[in-house]
A and B are shown apart, each in its own frame.
Chain A
Amino acid sequence: MENINTYTISIYTENNIGLLNRISAIFQRRHINIESLNTSISEIEGVSRFTIVVNLEEDRIKKIVGQIEKQVEVIKAYYHTDEETIYQESCMFKLKSDLLFEEREIQNIIKDSNARIVTVNKEFFVLEKSGRRNEIEQLYRDFSAYGIMQFVRSGRIAVTKDEMKISQMLAAFN
């Protein structure tokens, strides 16, 4: 059996209703768990980008990308290893404001982690942190001891180190 690796799939698509359903069904049908999923606009006007993270063997990821590309509204799909991409996740913590003023350690954690304070009021303050999954998880562990009021983490977003030819390809369409 081949080794399982983490792969980031980048999919450039038309911005049409129902496509998320169509793409997620490809994974569902093959019993592949999606570790993270993000959709957004892309660098090309009118073109959406899906960023999907899965843990899979390379042989299977190739087939999945083939099936994704086959969808009528998918312009192009790629898969990349972690080494081939620059990737980040984003998260937000909501904590009690008392902690900020009474626990010196909290201030140190914020400073050391390069987290950013988004808002502060009498009741709570909100931190935002972007980084690798392990950095976010460490921050979560650090704050857990003090009590987290709310926590949310985004899906991975990634850009490749190498150029993807998508811009060139789409220039031909536009």
Chain B
Amino acid sequence: MEWDIASLEDLEHYIWRCTACGTCKVAYDFGPPATCAPICPAGTEFGFEGNMSSKGKIAFARGILDGTLEFDEDLLNDIYRCTICAGCQNQCQLDHKPFIPEIMEAMRRKAVEQGVGPLPLHKNLTRSLKNYNNPYQGPRRLRTDWTRPFKKAKKPIKNIMKEPAPTLFYVGCTGAFNQGARPIPTATASLFQKLGLDFGILGENEVCCGSTAMRVGDAEEFKRLATHNLELFKKLHDEQGVETIITSCAGCYRAIKKDYILSSDYDKMMDGIRVVHTAQYLHELLQKGELPIEGELAMKVTYHDPCHIGRHLNKFEVDDDGSQLWPGAYLGMSEEDCVYEEPRELLKAIPGVEFMEMERNRSNSFCCGGGGGVMTGFGDWAAKNAGLRVEEGMGTGAEVMASTCPFCHFNLNSGAQRIQSSMKIQDVVELLDQVIPAKD
């Protein structure tokens, strides 16, 4: 399987297209009144131009390429002090816009290739991926710990390797191994059972999607995991009848939808398989009138957009051959693949829920601070940033911050604890599970 993953040198032409105008620094939309708010977690915390949005990261890339900068401890730290949230990308209007996260990750890949990256804490993570197929150093058998209550209740979840099912619930490592995030797969499976969905999980046979490896620049490890998964998905399709893969993790979704397509065999491997996020899947049922919401939740809820199912799914139009403007010109962007409205509509469909919007939302959402390897490499800063986001949520008057990503879920919880907030962090699925009755 061939992989087309860009090197920093491949992206040099785009790197030089940054004017250093600084538009990437703030979330801004013309009003009136205008929206104006910080968008870069690293810029908010560290402040220097180099830490600030894509302007700073492009400066590092230019310096590395022109030979002015060499990897040292300080530079390496700052290259990894970025959540790759794409908030800056959303603001930029220049030709390098479509490639901004790619440029940041290409710097990391270069550091890894040269043997200086990733950071020591990330090396634990990638070592864990190599040894355990998950970033949490979790033994395989622990992957299914969350399913015990289902067995106990005589409602076991299918092992899709043994029993065919049209739908694979791809749980993801965080939901499976991270105690704080485990309520998400539990609620998801509970909900699926209530809805009568014929689904299964990979259980001990699930391996990481590879997102974490890709985000910290270990392309080789990503390729190993992604290749394994693509081959597994094809096998599941051919032999077990899998037609739909549902991910409850925004990171897994992004990896399968955006990183796996860098494989030359993607179309062949994924032929006949649809990949959806839980929020999309449930929203489809809502639209069809097949989501039997009966209960009521009298609560004020705000919604935090995970970057990986939000602006990371922007689709960019580039004039590759120069037939419209010039070669490589950025022509436009579509948000049609971004999962912004589905979770909101699900929340609003719950009787009693009073939905409150934070100022920074949808494409201008402020990252929780956990992505891009930051939660592993700079845990304290990740939680501090999440605390800022929780404060923003509290400012709306909401008592619950809902999200659709176990990574955000864990980090926002850490943030809430750090600032001793009473804000409850819950997945949209957890809330829905409370208002959908079990089928007899």
Whether A and B are associated in the same complex: the answer reads no
